Copies of this chain bind each other. A is one copy, B any other.
Amino acid sequence: MKLWEKNSKLNKQIEQYTVGNDPKLDLNLVKYDCIASIAHAKMLHKIGILAKEELDKLEAELKNIIKLYHDGKFVIKLEDEDCHTAIENHLIKKLGNIGKKIHTARSRNDQVLTALRLYSKDKLKHIEKAVLELVASLKKLGVKHNSVEMPGYTHSRKAMPYTVGKYFGAFKDSLQDDLKLLATSYELIDQNPLGSAAGYGVNLNVDKKMTTKLLNFAKVQHNELYCQNSRGKFESIVLFALDQIMLDLGKLAGDLILFSMDEFGYFKLPEEFCTGSSIMPHKKNPDVLELMRAKASVVNSYVFQVINIINGLQSGFNRDFQLTKEPLMKGLEITLDSVKVMNLVLSGIKVNKENCKKACTREIYSVNKANELVKKGMPFRDAYKKLK
């Protein structure tokens, strides 16, 4: 049963179209919605809406829902639309009138926002940790191959001598910069929207500071309309930070595919990381890297998808926002998986020093030679021309 159930029943086809895959996606939010509801109940108790006993029962049942969810036993039915409705219905079924009080002073609009932010903050913490591990791996590779010379390329042509260590170092530095963007996106979403209700507050004495503290948000997001206007906006900012990480992984994946071709042979993927062909017995393919490259493009398209959806909307909540959930959730999951898998790949990759050395052919030292002439006093441009 929907929270807003009317006399005339919603058309079935329209119900299916509007609910979409929310019941499935919202499983990701059950835990966070319960945590937020506990904080909300505590606040309602403080401002006199809930008695202590009512609060205790609600808290116990909300914790029970979290347990049910972890045991795979909490179900969101199509008729329930989303996790928020399923949870309220569950509370009413179990606690009667007490359950009917939980939605005081809030709307699904601020409820979704709160749950999504708690969920996202959690995921971002995991991603940050995984990126730091990847950075550590790249640092180790940098040290290990510190003195292995390989050709540096410009315009896809051998340019000047570089080292394998510094090659990996470039990605380490890039990911460290990405973490700054990730931290900013985290800081931006770390604002408590609970109590903004439908986007215009309520005529009750809501204590936002209290829920902010209970939910471990850095601050209150005061302007209620901005709470709603930041839906999608914040998602796009989080996804863009993920996108930068993914673009780095995609670039590294592309390089590794190239440099592990027989024609180069600088790197080698272990066999247990390679897949084969259905027709060609000899093939060993770097599918894992190809898919990582492709997933970078996918996450990139999610940024665009979210902005596409929200761009042009009137201020305040619009149902369009619902469709920003999927790209956000997928983007977070893909990024976490990809960072971990790249770390695994780097743990197995072999550097073929001989091939690297052999590829450092004479011409890539042309600038060095020009600089020798410079040191002897020849203007650089003359030295350059002499060596052309």
Contacting residue for A368 out of B92, B181, B203, B278, CB 8 A: B203
Contact with B along A158-189 (1 / 0, CB 8 A): 11111000110111111001001100100110
Give how many copies assemble into the complex: 4
CB-based contact A311/B311 at 8 Å: yes
Q: Which residues of B contact A73 (CB under 8 A)?
A: none
CB closest chain-B residue, reference A372: B203
**A334-349: which residues lie under 8 A (CB-CB) from chain B?**
337-338, 340-341, 344-345
CB-based contact A315/B170 at 8 Å: yes
CB-based contact B388/A281 at 8 Å: yes
Q: Is A247 an interface residue (CB 8 A)?
A: yes
CB-based contact A319/B291 at 8 Å: yes
Contact with B along A206-225 (1 / 0, CB 8 A): 00000000000000011111
Question: What is the distance, in angstroms, from A176's C-beta to the closest C-beta of chain B?
Answer: 10
Q: Is A71 an interface residue (CB 8 A)?
A: no
Q: Is A100 an interface residue (CB 8 A)?
A: yes
Interface size on A, residues (CB 8 A): 166
CB-based contact B204/A371 at 8 Å: yes
CB-based contact A4/B288 at 8 Å: no
CB closest chain-B residue, reference A315: B255
CB-based contact B155/A251 at 8 Å: no
Contact with B along A14-47 (1 / 0, CB 8 A): 1001101000000000000000000000000000
Cα–Cα distance between A62 and B22 once the two chains are bound (Å)? 36
Contacting residue for A198 out of B159, B202, B374, CB 8 A: B159
